[in-house]
Structure 1
């Protein structure tokens, strides 16, 4: 029995078929244009969920890359500034060594003091370097506060001990700055364990060495006191712990340059200390490099040559202290710079790992929801077939809708 289909039904079925064919073709076209196999989560829920996780990891990796670029820019500025500071320190040390030349007169020392004044101002300028973002490089967390202010005895630090940090990798929070405190103020005096010095009231020509540690140093404050023995007329020295007044070494005949050892410390005194002279030994402490420079400038501007050998000895002791303290400051600054350099190298390593991760994540996303090379070939073939099918269906539908009895009359 023949089945009768109304014209409207035939029309609706053909329209629906054309719509389906066109939808499939457009979907394949969209896959090819976006190079994505999965266009909506409904296409492959499991792959979509996993791709979302990988995409989030990819984006996090990209953010770490931006953070590393910011960190590198900041650390580069710190590194460059510390290099300039080191150059200033080298010049300051050379000036102090030059000042110790026995042939220098007061006019020469005044000129060297003026040069050191310039070095102090140069250091202060570098210490107050701007960070390029409207703040200061060495203020710690207080970026809007100028780190150092010049004072009569050096400079005052106005920042804090904080170091700004950025997350530059998964689980890696990296300091991207250095505080002015750790660079300019945390510099040990003396030999790093103890500091030797001469009392300003000394009348002899004794010069004390920086000393060395020869054993387990006993921290404390000590005084080496010189007296003249009433019987022999010889100058003797004794060592006293000034914290509790206890005697460490009894009166001993003094011989210039002879090693004096006690409490794990060894030193010597040259020249000719006078009756009543005192030399001090105290635990090393942190001292601002600005204070060290201000002290040596003051010492150089105090007339020495015209005041006799006592003033010359006082100057030599002051220059020895300054030389040691400046070397310590330079060593400390070098350690900070080395730490910055190590962080920059770490950033390079992290960047290499991140580049590999980026490739890995991209490949994972492509495998999960994207079109692989094989998938692209298949999609192109399918698109061609769908285009052909749609064209044929459209042609057939067009022919069918044009049928009429008048064509056969």
Structure 2
């Protein structure tokens, strides 16, 4: 059975086929030019949805990378300020040692005081350091508030306890700042458990006793109480040497720790309630030494007290003993302040090191995301070029055949 095909059908069928082939060729050309297999969601709905999820995760990972860059900049500022602060504290320790030299006169100490004033001002400058954006490093959350203001007794802190944090990874937040209270006011006095002091009035009584910082001998016996050590001196009489003894009173409870006076021997250990220390030198009648629990003290208060002690020390054996007690106390507190600053700096260093690890992990995750996206939406160039060449040849053949078919007519044979 023969079927008659009209000229209109031939033209319409040929045009539709050419249009379809041209669309396919154009789409392949777009894939080659963009490098993407999936141009629209309709091309592969499942791959498109998955690619959107991966793209969002990749963009979040990119943001974490930016956060880490900002965190590194802020933490580097803090680390630099802490390093300088540590160097200044070491300079102050050197000045304390110089001030304790027996050959030093009051004029010599006055010269050291001038240097100490300079170190004090340098410490204030470090405590009030700001970053490149004008935000104070050690003010906690109060970025625009100057952390420390100088006072006659040291400095007052106007910031808060907050630690600014940044999301450095999908499951990690890092502190990028340090509180001024933690850095400059977080050190304990004395040996960290208790603090020994000489009564300033000992100087006027003619006593030259020097008390040691002491140590803990039994932590289970510690009471956390305040104690008063009072000396009694019975003057010598013909044939009888002077007798010196001491009593210890628990100033918190008012109960004597030593029911009877204990004979005093210079440098001999004095122990009670889990603590131990000694007193060296010649003590005067009614000389007093105190023991109290360690407390947090501002570095600026420590330096200011040291400056006052050196200014008012004077000369003479009793004045030197009083100064030695104050220098020992200041030296212990300065050591604690240095340890505290180094501890905070160690935290910053650990954070900077962790940023390096997070950067490496982030780069690895980024490669994984990029690989997944490539597998989902990118096209294989070899396959695409082969397809493009094939589609191009098919279109050219279709165009030639359409030209020949559309030229057929019975009038050509009349």
Q: Same fold (TM over 0.5)?
A: yes
Structure 2 match to 1:365? 373
1:310 pairs, out of 303, 309, 318, with: 318
With normalisation by structure 1, the TM-score equals 0.94
Mapped to 1, the partners of 2:317 and 2:235 lie a distance apart of 25
Task: List gaps (5 residues or longer) in structure 2.
Answer: none
Q: Does 1:212 align with 2:215?
A: yes
Q: What is the number of residues matched between the two proteins? A: 404
Structural RMSD (CA): 1.8
SS of residue paired to 1:42: coil
Q: Pick from 225, 230, 247 the counterpart of residue 256 of structure 2.
A: 247
Q: What TM-score, normalized to structure 2?
A: 0.93
Conserved 8 A contact 2:79-2:349: yes
d(CA) in 2 for partners of 1:8, 1:166: 71
Structure 1 stretch 338-347 or stretch 3-12: which is displaced more? 3-12
Give, in angstroms, the shift of residue 405 of structure 1.
7.2
Match of 1:352 in 2: 360
What SS does the aligned partner of 2:257 have?
strand
User: Is the Cα contact below 8 Å between 2:313 and 2:323 reproduced in 1?
Assistant: no
SS of residue matched to 1:141: coil
Contact 2:187/2:336, CA 8 A, preserved across alignment: yes
Separation in structure 1 between the aligned mates of residue 121 and residue 247 of structure 2, nearest angstrom: 42
* Deviation by residue 1:138-177 (Cα, 9 ceiling, x = unmatched): 1100001011111101111110010100111111111111
Name the structure 2 match of 1:380. Answer: 385
2:218 is paired with a residue of what secondary structure?
coil
Q: Which residue of 1 aligns with 2:349?
A: 341
Secondary structure of the corresponding residue to residue 281 of structure 1: strand
Query: Is contact 2:10-2:406 (8 Å) kept?
Result: no
CA distance in 2, matches of 1:407, 1:153: 117
Q: Give the corresponding residue for 1:288.
A: 298
| Residue 328 (structure 2) aligns with | 320
Question: Shift of residue 102 of structure 1?
Answer: 0.5
CA distance in 2, matches of 1:33, 1:278: 91
- Write out per-residue CA displacement over residues 265-298 of structure 1, whole angstroms, 9 at most, x where no aligned residue: 1101111111111101100000010000000001
- Deviation by residue 1:236-257 (Cα, 9 ceiling, x = unmatched): 1111111111111231111111
Q: Does 1:9 align with 2:9?
A: yes
Q: Offset at 1:43? A: 2.1
Report the counterpart of residue 275 of structure 2 in structure 1.
Answer: 265
Structure 1 residue 122: Cα displacement: 0.4
Task: Give the gaps of 5 or more residues in structure 1.
Answer: none
Q: CA deviation at 1:34?
A: 2.1
Q: CA deviation at 1:400?
A: 4.8
